[in-house]
Amino acid sequence: MLITNKELSGLLKKMNGIIELYKETHEEKERDYKTYEEKLMSRIKTASNNLAPLIRDACESIKTSKRGKPPSLSIEKKTNILLLKHLFDLSNRNMAYMLCFFSALTGIGTSFKTVERIYSNPYVKMALHNLFMLLLKKKGIKKINASGDGTGYSLLISQHYNSNPKKKYSKKRKYRFSFAIIDLDTGMYVAFGTSMKSEKDAFNKAIKLLKETGIEIESMRLDKYYSHSGTLDIFDEKAKIYLIPKKNATIKGSYRWKRMLREILDDTFSYLKEYYKRNNSESGISADKRLCGQIVHQKREDRIETAISCTNLWHNIMRLG
């Protein structure tokens, strides 16, 4: 039996209270920071061992033009510089200084202007894309239970996405929007997208990349911004989609939409238990910003996109082991 408007209206009136009760009875355990730091250090050690061979494999299939003077740095070295700079949150100048000190060990030395140009190098962008696909392949991800969430990265040191939410759609473009889809089992991102326009545009780009990976979604959890019948049509009919209806929701929509609303009504707590696995997305984004920072220092749009892509790549590199 599908839901009626009267039943939905009654559910929506009680929904906030039910959610609060659920959260009270399902409080998350406080983080053990000692264990967290130990796990993080273990991940960093594993990532440091994996990084060079991963980059080598990602660059192997890229063929460059041989016209003109050969570049002083290979694609492999440029990709390495970019990812390390992003992880250590260094300025272009400080990265160049560091490379000078370590050039005897690494054989890499360059100017700060060269470091900045790497962000828009088309071959490096290809290498980053190949690296993302390679990480998913090595992890053996094919079918997943997933969740998705968006965030904003500040383009100005004086602006913070969470402390200034009313201005995040400013015409001055103080924020870059990012959306990532996470595999609940492995904790890895299976798709992501960025946009200067809106979170929805970043979401659409993430969905486009998801289709490119060929990964099958068995279940998906999204926040209220995507809570409408049209969202269900984006995913395969076999996929289970978990959404929380908005206050003004109606039964108008597809059969899948009505069936989802009926399920919420029949067993609300079990539904919320599945839905709030979406917290994995929020935790992942929080970890990303602690690891790589929440401010993007690049000015050009294509370079901003590359910078955020590096954050998402580091998220996966840290979870490969």
Helix 75-88 and helix 279-292, axial crossing angle in degrees, nearest 10: 100
Residues 6+ away with beta carbon under 8 Å from 315? 180, 188, 189, 284, 287, 288, 291
How far apart, in whole angstroms, are the C-alpha atoms of residue 57 and residue 48?
A: 15
The pLDDT assigned to 91 comes to 59
- Cα distance between residue 196 and residue 217, in whole Å: 27
Residue 91 domain-assigned (yes or no): no
Domain around 17: 5-26+141-297
Q: Identify whether 33 is part of a domain.
A: no
Helix (H/G/I), strand (E/B), else coil: 191: strand
Quick count: other Cβ atoms within 10 Å of Cβ 167? 12
Output the pTM of the full model: 0.87
Compute the residue count for the chain.
321
Q: How far apart are the C-alpha atoms of 219 and 24, rounded to whole Å?
A: 25
Domain assignment present for 22: yes
| CA atoms of 78 and 140, how far apart (whole Å) | 27
Rounded Cα gap, residues 30 and 230, in angstroms: 37
Q: What is the mean pLDDT of each run of 10 residues along the chain (321 residues)?
A: 90 93 80 73 88 95 75 86 83 58 50 81 96 96 97 73 49 79 97 95 98 97 95 95 94 94 94 96 94 89 94 95 76
Handedness of CA 37, 43, 46, 47 (dihedral sign): negative
Residue of 183, 258, 206, 191 whose CA lies nearest to 243: 258
70, part of any domain: no
The pLDDT of residue 27 is 75
- CA 305, CA 176: separation in Å to the nearest integer? 8
- Asked if residue 74 belongs to a domain, the reply is no
Q: What is the pLDDT of residue 32?
A: 67
Q: What are phi and psi of 62, to 5 degrees?
A: -85, 120
Q: Is residue 271 part of a domain?
A: yes
Within a 13 Å sphere around the CA of 286, how many CA atoms are in the beta-carbon half? 5
Determine, yes or no, domain membership for 98: no
The predicted pLDDT at position 93 comes to 60
Q: Would residue 293 count as lying in a domain?
A: yes
Give the total number of structural domains in the chain. 1
Taking CA atoms, 203 is separated from 28, 106, 216, in Å, by 27, 39, 17
